[in-house]
């Protein structure tokens, strides 16, 4: 009889616990549904500005403000004339798409924090001393800070090299066009249309500025300011002087064309003379050791075998 009462009491307690659990789950689900309904109603009753802000992409809501903060921090860290120097470097590099002064400043701060932080975490994980971790973090942060400048300078150098290689041919075409009876603007248009590359882009911009009403002298000066190529600067200076002094343009272009071809031949001869010096390093480090092994290897093996038998 006692066992029956104990079993009944246990079953009754289990039933009560199960009933309370079901009631609790139902209450929790009801509360969750009520919260969801309240959130939907609050969103429906929210102002249109808040709805537009929520519907904006993640990049515009989060990344763009973060980028603006990085740009502001970067402007505080650099000198006053840094923005002007960066803009000059951008002009030399041809103003690549999606590259401007603000983005470079933000990338400088981001690179310093990212590279320095990674180096700091690596130093903590490795058995380095505290001084070594600090020095490595500072040096890596400085590298990340100047890395955008290095990339921008490299892009400008590559563009200047392409312009220098294409300049003699463009000068020949410009000279032939002017001597054939075309005006200077028409000759520039012919050079801009025939070919692709950074030099043609500069001539296209020069033509657009002259078509918009900018004087030839001012347009040539702006073209000289946008480049660091000495040959192109010399061409712009010669054209400015010819326009100021009334010298025939065809004569100036013929002289400039001959000078450009002479400089290109001299650069080719200079590079040809540098070949023996440059080939000396792989010759000494890689070719001569292989020759020594092939020539002296068998003799060395025979000598070692002979001395081992003695």
Mean per-residue pLDDT, 194-220: 87
What pLDDT is stored for residue 197 in this prediction?
85
At 172, list the tokens.
Answer: 């020949």
Pick from 193, 200, 196, 240: which is nearest to 221 by CA?
240
| Among candidate residues 152, 59, 45, the one with its CA nearest the CA of residue 99 | 152
The residue with tokens 């970067």 is: 74
Q: How far apart are CA 196 and CA 186, in angstroms?
A: 18
pTM, full prediction: 0.67
More confident residue, 197 or 62: 197
pLDDT tier, 279 (very low <50, low <70, confident <90, very high otherwise)? confident
User: Using CA atoms, how far apart are residues 100 and 222, in angstroms rounded to an integer?
Assistant: 19
- Residue 159 pLDDT exceeds 60: yes
- Averaged over 154-164, what is the pLDDT? 90
Angle at 128 between CA 120 and CA 136, to 5 degrees: 45
| Band of residue 26 on the pLDDT scale cut at 50, 70, 90 | very low
Q: Residues 42-49: what's their mean pLDDT?
A: 51
Rounded distance, CA 147 to CA 115, Å? Answer: 10
What sign does the dihedral 259-265-269-272 (CA atoms) show?
Answer: positive
Q: Does residue 27 surpass a pLDDT of 60?
A: no
Query: Comparing C-alpha atoms, which of 248, 260, 259, 261 is closest to residue 179?
Result: 248
- Of the candidates 99, 103, 96, 97, which has an alpha carbon nearest to the alpha carbon of residue 70? 103
Residue 57 is predicted with a pLDDT of 57
What's the mean per-residue pLDDT of the chain? 78
Q: What is the 3-state secondary structure (H, E, C) of the chain?
A: CHHHHHHHHHHHHHHHHHHHHHHHHHHHHHHHHHHHHHHHHHHHHCCHHHHHHHHCCHHHHHHHHHHHHHHHHHHHHCCCCHHHHHHHHHHHCCCCCCCCHHHHHHHHHHHHHHHHHHHHHHHHHCCCCHHHHHHHHHHHHHHHHHHHHHHHHHHHHHHHHHHHHHHHHHHHHHHHHHHCCCCHHHHHHHHHHCCCCHHHHHHHHHHHHHHCCCCHHHHHHHHHHCCCCHHHHHHHHHHHHHHHHCCCHHHHHHHHHHHHHHHHHHHHHHHHHHHHHHHHHHHHHHHHHHHHHHHHHHHHHHHHHHHHHC
Q: HSE on the CB side for 303, CA within 13 Å?
A: 5
* pLDDT value at 92 more than 70: yes
Q: Is residue 37 over pLDDT 60?
A: no
* Arithmetic mean of pLDDT, 106-125: 85
Q: What is the pLDDT of residue 13?
A: 56
Q: What are phi and psi of 100, to 5 degrees?
A: -145, 180
Q: What is the mean pLDDT of residues 126-152?
A: 88
User: What are the backbone dihedrals phi and psi of residue 254, each rounded to the nearest 5 degrees, phi first?
Assistant: -65, -40
Cα 59 vs. chain centroid, distance in angstroms? Answer: 20
The pLDDT score that the predictor gives to residue 22 is 42
**pLDDT the model gives residue 50:** 46
* Residue of 192, 195, 191 lying closest to 173 (CA atoms): 191
Residue 100 vs residue 40, higher pLDDT: 100
pLDDT digits (tens, 9 = 90+) for 280-295: 888 888 888 888 888 8
**Among positive and negative, which fits the CA dihedral 292, 298, 301, 303?**
negative
pLDDT at 49: 46
pLDDT of 103 reads 82
């Amino acid at each position: 009889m006692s066992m029956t009462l104990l079993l009944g009491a246990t079953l009754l307690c289990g039933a009560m616990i199960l009933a309370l659990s079901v009631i609790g789950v139902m209450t929790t689900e009801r509360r969750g549904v009520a919260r969801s309904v309240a959130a939907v109603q609050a969103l429906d009753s929210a102002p249109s500005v808040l709805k537009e802000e929520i519907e904006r992409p993640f990049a515009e809501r989060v990344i763009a403000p973060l980028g603006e903060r990085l740009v502001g921090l970067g402007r505080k860290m650099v000198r006053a004339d840094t923005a002007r120097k960066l803009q000059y470097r951008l002009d030399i590099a041809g103003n690549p798409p999606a590259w401007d002064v603000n983005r470079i400043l933000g990338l400088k701060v981001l690179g310093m924090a990212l590279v320095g932080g990674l180096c700091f975490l690596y130093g903590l994980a490795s058995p380095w001393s505290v001084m070594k971790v600090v020095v490595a973090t500072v040096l890596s942060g400085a590298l990340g800070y100047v890395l955008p400048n290095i990339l921008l300078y490299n892009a400008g150098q590559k563009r200047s090299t392409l312009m220098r290689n294409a300049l003699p041919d463009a000068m020949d075409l410009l000279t032939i066009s002017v001597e054939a009876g075309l005006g200077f603007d028409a000759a520039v248009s012919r050079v801009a249309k025939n070919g692709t590359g950074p030099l043609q882009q500069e001539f296209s911009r020069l033509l657009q500025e002259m078509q918009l009403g900018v004087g030839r002298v001012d347009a040539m000066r702006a073209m000289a300011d946008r480049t660091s190529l000495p040959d192109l600067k010399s061409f712009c200076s010669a054209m400015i002087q010819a326009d100021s002094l009334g010298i025939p343009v065809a004569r100036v272009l013929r002289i400039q064309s001959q000078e450009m071809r002479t400089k290109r031949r001299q650069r080719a001869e200079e590079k040809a003379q540098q070949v023996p010096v440059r080939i000396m390093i792989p010759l000494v480090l890689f070719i001569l050791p292989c020759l020594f092994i092939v020539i002296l290897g068998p003799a060395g093996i025979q000598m070692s075998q002979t001395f081992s038998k003695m």
